[in-house]
Amino acid sequence: MTHSPQAIEEFLRQHRNPYDLLLQNAAPSLLDLGAGDLSFLDELAVQYLPRLQARNASLILHGVDRLKPGSMFGGPLHADPGRLGRWQQAKGLEFQFWGGMDMLAPLPELLPRYTVVTCHAPATPTFALEPTRLSKPVIDCYLRQTKGGFKLVREGNEDALEVLHRGRALLFPPWKFEIRGPLALLEVMAQRGELCVLAAVDSEVFWEVLSQLVDNPAMRPADTVFAPAVLAKTFGPIHSQLMALPEGESVQLANIMALRSALPRVLGPAGTYRFRSVEIRRGAVFPEMPASSTARRFKNMVEETPPWCLILVPEG
């Protein structure tokens, strides 16, 4: 059973927790893009599986992450074996995780459509710069100015990206600085999900995502990086309104700015799509909503501004 976009929009008006939509579906399913240590899927299963089991309903939870299992990179962000083993044995739950896979690539292992698709703490700079808006020279210059010089190297048996940052040589997965942009992420989420949730979104990613969701093309200036100094000028009153939003509060984007009627597809055949509803919330963790370990760490990141959460309903 699927829900119409109109029905989902109405559901969200009456329920503060978007994940409660899983309880309205005879065959609920959720896909977590960039599932990391599986902490979000773990919290979600703990919260929802018993309630579904009580009504003899099953739940499908799938996760994808680009970190290759066993890689020297990623540390605590690797899928937790304990969580993976525990939930794969649970009654009434289909729990699968695929590591070492690009979540933006065609993945035949996944369902064509999920009740909910999520992405928690979307990666910076991967989704913080939009390549249809920013030219490659501008992106490369920005990365070298803000991150440091970088080059591909070989470390042990793995390819790596070496970044020279403040006099130190740091190693990352080789794809760390592959810039895909928010349009690619939004397209995958809209294709796969009846309801989409972007959670624990840092400021860099948030404003780039927002620029693609609003109808005003002036908020997508060519070759202008959204450094803090230019945000107020680019987004004008919408910047002031959103920055004044207290943690825990929310606003419907359509109430302060017209939504974009046609987002271009950048991954597959040419075409467009749209979101009929976009809710913006300020904060990392919200009452009764499961969260990732990254979201729960935000309260201890004193140098970070409060992150954002976007709840989106694709149109058909």
pLDDT, tens only, 54-104: 999 999 999 999 999 888 888 888 989 889 889 999 999 999 999 999 999
156 pLDDT above the threshold of 90: no
Span 13-28, average pLDDT: 96
pLDDT score for 301: 72
pLDDT score for 235: 97
Q: CA 283 to CA 248: how far, in whole Å?
A: 6
Q: Cβ neighbours of residue 311 under 8 Å, at least 6 residues apart?
A: 12, 18, 195, 196, 197, 277, 278, 279, 281
The alpha helices in the chain, defined as continuous H runs, are 5-14, 39-53, 81-88, 136-146, 181-192, 203-213, 228-235, 237-243, 293-297
236 pLDDT above the threshold of 80: yes
300 pLDDT above the threshold of 70: yes
- When computed from its CA atoms, the radius of gyration of the chain, rounded to whole angstroms, is 19
> Which pairing describes strands 250-252 and 193-201: parallel, antiparallel, or unpaired?
unpaired
Banded pLDDT at 253 (limits 50, 70, 90): very high
pLDDT score for 137: 97
pTM metric for this prediction: 0.95
Q: Which residue has the tokens 């605590």?
A: 76
pLDDT score for 3: 85
Token representation of residue 130: 């939009």
1 pLDDT above the threshold of 70: no
Span 229-250, average pLDDT: 95
Q: Is 48 helix (H, G, I), strand (E, B) or coil?
A: helix
Domain topology for 5-130+178-314: Rossmann fold (3.40.50)
pLDDT score for 228: 87
DSSP class per residue in 227-253? -HHHHHHHHTHHHHHHHTPPTT-EEEG
C-beta of residue 33 within 8 angstroms of C-beta of residue 119: yes
Q: Supply the DSSP symbol for 19.
A: G
299 pLDDT above the threshold of 90: no
pLDDT score for 17: 97
Span 138-147, average pLDDT: 94
Within a 13 Å sphere around the CA of 118, how many CA atoms are in the beta-carbon half?
Answer: 27
pLDDT score for 96: 96
The model's pLDDT over 178-227, given as tens digits with 9 standing for 90+, comes to 999 999 999 999 999 999 999 999 999 999 999 999 999 999 999 999 98
Bond before 125 cis per omega within 30 degrees: yes
The model's pLDDT over 107-120, given as tens digits with 9 standing for 90+, comes to 999 999 999 999 99
Q: CA 194 to CA 161: how far, in whole Å?
A: 36
**Percent of the chain's residues with pLDDT above 70:** 99
Pick 291 or 165 by higher pLDDT.
291
